């Protein structure tokens, strides 16, 4: 997810997307990015490290050309040949565009995506603008969510946590996956364990193998979980913060999140998360853990 355009689009065949009633952008300025573009792209994304952490992490983890990205990176250049927009176009479409021409051209490029687009998220109005250019303004998303961006950095207040937080292992795969699937269903109404069980379990397993899933267990039961979705030297993006229903409202989430955050701040200067603005109870826990809301994002589910 950070200038990322998280549009969730249903699997409409590309030829059914209505044409725009506006002028075609100059598509000669858009091209697929290759491995030799890596440094230039990372430099471009580093201007806004929090908002672009997911794209940067994908490139660092997988390479700019990789099936693990579940899509392809594209760049838009202005008349002087300077990058003005970068997008990962695929299952999760992430966009960092610094002009309306870039947003429009990258949206047109997305109409030819070989990988069906399911998710678009962005700060400000970028997701909606991208969606308009992508669809021609003739369809509406199934669901529009506004999400709050929470961040924390040093100085950071240390809190006491009586729980031992550890890295998940493969023996915990099913409990971790079920907890993550519950979160996904609450957020967008789709259960990935039903929609794509094999692919979802593989992605959760890979995150566990990377050491990016953190858990607390009591009597063999998962009571707290949080995942690193993306990590760069500047920023760590957390997602999937989960507290077992039997332990909610007892301060478990805030204390475990605070302890985990303190540890992660030894690895990056800034920790961030996104959360639906309607999840007021969760936000109280984040504030207790030391996080502050700094921005808003729009997530479109189609």
CA distance 79 to 81: 5
Mean pLDDT of the chain: 89
* pLDDT at residue 5 in the model: 38
pLDDT category at 302 given cuts 50, 70, 90 is low
pTM given for the model: 0.85
pLDDT category at 21 given cuts 50, 70, 90 is low
Kind and range of the H or E element at 258? helix 252-264
CA angle 261, 266, 269 (to 5 degrees): 80
* pLDDT at residue 1 in the model: 41
Q: How is 27-88 classified by DSSP, letter by letter?
A: GGGEEE--GGGHHHHHHHHTTSTTTTHHHHHHHHHH-SS-GGGTEEEEEEE-TTS-EEEEEE
- Chain centroid to Cα 88, Å, comes to 12
Query: CATH code for 166-294?
Result: 3.40.630.30
Architecture of the domain spanning 7-141: 3-Layer(aba) Sandwich (3.40)
CA distance 179 to 141: 26
Q: Where are the domains of the chain?
A: 7-141, 166-294
Q: In this structure, how many other beta carbons lie within 10 angstroms of the beta carbon of residue 66?
A: 15
Tokens found for residue 110 = 């997305």
**Same CATH fold, 166-294 and 7-141?**
yes
Strands of 65-212, DSSP E: 71-77, 83-90, 92-97, 119-123, 143-152, 166-167
pLDDT in tens, 214-262: 999 998 899 999 999 999 999 999 999 999 999 999 999 999 999 999 9
């Amino acid at each position: 997810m950070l200038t990322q355009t998280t549009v969730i689009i249903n699997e409409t065949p590309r030829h059914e997307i209505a044409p725009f009633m506006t002028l075609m952008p100059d598509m000669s300025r858009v091209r697929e990015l290759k491995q030799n573009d890596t440094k230039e792209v990372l430099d471009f994304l580093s201007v806004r490290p929090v908002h672009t952490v997911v794209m940067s992490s994908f490139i660092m983890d997988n390479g700019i050309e990789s099936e693990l990205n579940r899509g392809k990176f594209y760049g838009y250049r202005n008349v002087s040949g300077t990058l003005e927009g970068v997008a990962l176009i695929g299952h999760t479409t992430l966009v960092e565009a610094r002009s309306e021409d870039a947003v429009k051209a990258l949206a047109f490029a997305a109409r030819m995506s070989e990988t069906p687009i399911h998710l678009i998220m962005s700060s400000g109005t970028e997701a909606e603008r991208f969606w308009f250019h992508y669809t021609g303004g003739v369809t509406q998303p199934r669901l529009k969510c506004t999400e709050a961006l929470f961040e924390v950095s040093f100085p950071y207040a240390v809190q006491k946590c009586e729980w031992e937080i550890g890295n998940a292992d493969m023996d915990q795969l099913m409990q971790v996956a079920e907890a993550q699937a519950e979160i996904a269903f609450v957020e967008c109404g789709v259960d990935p364990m039903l929609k794509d069980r094999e692919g979802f379990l593989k992605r959760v397993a890979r995150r566990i193998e990377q050491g990016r899933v953190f858990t607390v267990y009591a009597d063999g039961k998962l009571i707290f979980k949080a995942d690193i979705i993306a990590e760069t030297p500047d920023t760590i993006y957390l997602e999937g913060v989960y507290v077992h229903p039997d332990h909610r409202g007892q301060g478990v989430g805030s204390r475990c999140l605070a302890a985990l955050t303190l540890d992660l701040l030894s690895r990056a200067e800034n920790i961030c998360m996104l959360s639906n603005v309607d999840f007021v109870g969760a936000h109280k826990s984040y504030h207790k853990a030391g996080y502050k809301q700094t921005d808003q994002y729009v997530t479109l589910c189609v």
